[in-house]
Amino acid sequence: MSRYIPATEDERRAMLEFVGVESVDEFYSDVPGQVLQKELPRLPKALSEPEMIRHLQGLSRRNKNADDIPCFLGAGAYDHFIPAAVDAIVSRGEFTTSYTPYQPEVAQGTLQAIFQYQTMVCELTGMEVSNASMYEGASATAEAAVMASVVSKRTHILVAKNTHPQTREVIRTYCWSRGLTCEEAPWADGRLDRKAAGDRLAKGDVAALVVQSPNFFGVVEDLEALGALAHENGALFVVNTDLLTLGSIDAPGKYGADIVVGDGQSAGNSLNFGGPAFGFIAVNKPLMRRMPGRICGQTVDREGRRTYVLTLQAREQHIRREKATSNICSNQNLCIVAASVYLSLMGPKGLREIGRQIMAKTAYAVEALERTGKFTRAFPKVPAFRETVLLCDEPVDRLNGRLMDAGILGGYPLGRDYPELANGWLLAVTEQRTKEEIDRLVAVAGGDKR
């Protein structure tokens, strides 16, 4: 058998004979002619295996990634330092091969890892119960909105417009599929416009107020005021946040959040070219049975030994389909193990130190960029974490092009999602960035723009 073509000519003939046709064309004869490829594309000549490897390696070297160049791009995925111990531990066979723990008696290690992860999420978010993880932050937020609608028996979801654009898109899709109405509340000075949100909530038909903090602009929202506003009008308060930031800012549970959700990529999971991370969702006990996914609990067996079990599995594979809370089927086990190892290694003191470095380096970078005379802060009066919106005196795409030519990955062009911030540049500074890298960013970004 060829290494690249899975079936030989003899095998193809045998398959065609088995289904009772003479040729591949006859096999596809039921397909409308207008959608068939009439002519084969002009393909390059075949390569030997060594030639193909060299060709693919050459293509891969054209990519620029955060291991090769300093990264000041965030917008939902962040370049944080991951200790070598994280990869060493999660690479163990019992973690990389683990799957859904249907049989607790043979899955104690997996269940223990899930239980420890849930405990850490609860400690960071200030909530009482966490599930065993979600696919990623956007679907976790959408699931929370649907949960709020079921609990409140209301059909309108109010989402802050300064929530991540992709998260808002997923919420809209979930709402469309469930017959719910998704509305967006405007922002002012970087934060959710409290008056506009209050006016909409006052109509009394909103199931959930969904906010992100720090929001897409990096601004920390006034959760205490927004939580009170939601509850005064009978809506649930859903807060999208980031596990790593909760080492530096107060837990949403402290301010009355009913559901806390978010993406956990920043906690021990690499960028992976946008590939797998995990979402988290945490609630207090009154909402526990409305939460999607599964919950792992700790108990003792009949001999008094500590053991772990799945205590709640509110999904269609375990209960009647019409009573299922969601179609969420699998937790992101390997990614949550990475987060658990990372958070264990860092501890509260380590997370605070990471936050301290982020804030100090962000302040240094922003002040240096402002001194060039080419940048001004868009929202100077509100607190921010890890990301800052700067207004540029040149098109952001041109600025990012100059930086890439100099071997620097620049910030996110906000004009793509917010036309009112056409020259807005979302700059992310993590603890990974050095003074030398920041100085080089300032030198190139503040230089001649022509």
Q: pLDDT digit string (tens) for 222-243? A: 999 999 999 999 999 999 999 9
- Does 326 have pLDDT greater than 80? no
What rounded mean pLDDT belongs to the chain?
91
Q: Is residue 158 part of a domain?
A: yes
Domain residues for the domain of 241 are 84-341
Task: Tell me which of 253-267, 304-318, 327-341 is least confident.
Answer: 304-318
Domain termination residue (choose one: 287, 320, 341): 341
Examine the domain organization and report whether 271 and 300 are in the same domain. Answer: yes
Say if residue 444's pLDDT is above 70. Answer: yes
Name residue, tokens 């095998």: 11
For 59-107, write each residue's pLDDT tens digit: 988 888 888 899 999 999 999 999 999 999 999 887 877 766 777 777 8
Cα 236 from Cα 233, distance rounded (Å)? 9
Choosing from 341, 369, 384, the residue where a domain stops is: 341
| Within-domain flag for 206 | yes
Q: What pLDDT sits at residue 197?
A: 97
pLDDT mean over 254-281: 93
Query: What phi, psi does 315 have (nearest 5°)?
Result: -140, 170
Please report whether residue 3 resides in a domain.
Answer: no
Residue 121 lies in a domain: yes
Q: Residue 328 — pLDDT band, cuts 50, 70, 90?
A: low
Q: What is the pLDDT of residues 158-184, one digit of tens each?
A: 999 999 999 999 999 999 999 999 999
Phi, psi of 97 (to 5 degrees): -105, 0
The pLDDT tens digits for 337-386 are 999 999 999 999 999 999 999 999 999 999 999 999 999 999 999 999 99
Tell me which DSSP letter residue 80 carries.
-
Query: Which residues are CB-neighbours of 335 under 8 A, at least 6 positions away?
Result: 133, 264, 269, 276, 277, 278
Q: What CATH number is associated with residue 97?
A: 3.40.640.10
Q: Are strands 375-377 and 387-392 parallel, antiparallel or unpaired?
A: antiparallel
| pLDDT of amino acid 324 | 63
Instruction: Dump pLDDT digits (tens) for 412-427.
Output: 999 999 999 999 999 9
DSSP 95-156: HHT----SSGGG-HHHHHHHHHHHHHHHHHHT-SEE-S-BS-HHHHHHHHHHHHHHHHT--E
Q: Is the pLDDT of residue 332 over 90?
A: no
CB distance 449 to 402 below 8 Å = yes
pTM of the shown model: 0.87
Please indicate, yes or no, whether residues 186 and 314 belong to a single structural domain of this protein. yes
* Contact call for residues 197 and 158 (beta carbons, < 8 A): yes
Of 101 and 185, which is predicted with more confidence?
185
Q: Which two tokens stand for residue 240?
A: 């999208």
The pLDDT of residue 329 is 61
Q: Quote helix, strand, coil % in the chain, to nearest 5.
A: 45, 15, 40
Q: What is the structure's pLDDT at 450?
A: 39
- DSSP H or E segment with residue 259: strand 259-263
State whether the Cα torsion 65-71-75-78 is positive or negative: positive
With beta carbons less than 8 A apart as the criterion, state whether 80 and 74 touch.
no
Question: What's the pLDDT score for residue 94?
Answer: 79
Per-residue model confidence (pLDDT) at position 449: 46
Contact 287, 259 (CB under 8 A): yes
Mean pLDDT of 49-63: 91
In this predicted structure, the answer to whether residue 108 has a pLDDT above a threshold of 80 is yes
Query: Does residue 109 have a pLDDT over 90?
Result: no
Helix (H) or strand (E) segment spanning residue 30: none
Which of 341, 374, 392 is where one domain is finished? 341
Report CA-CA distances (Å) from 97 to 93, 208, 310, 334, 436: 6, 38, 19, 9, 41
Total of domains in the chain: 2
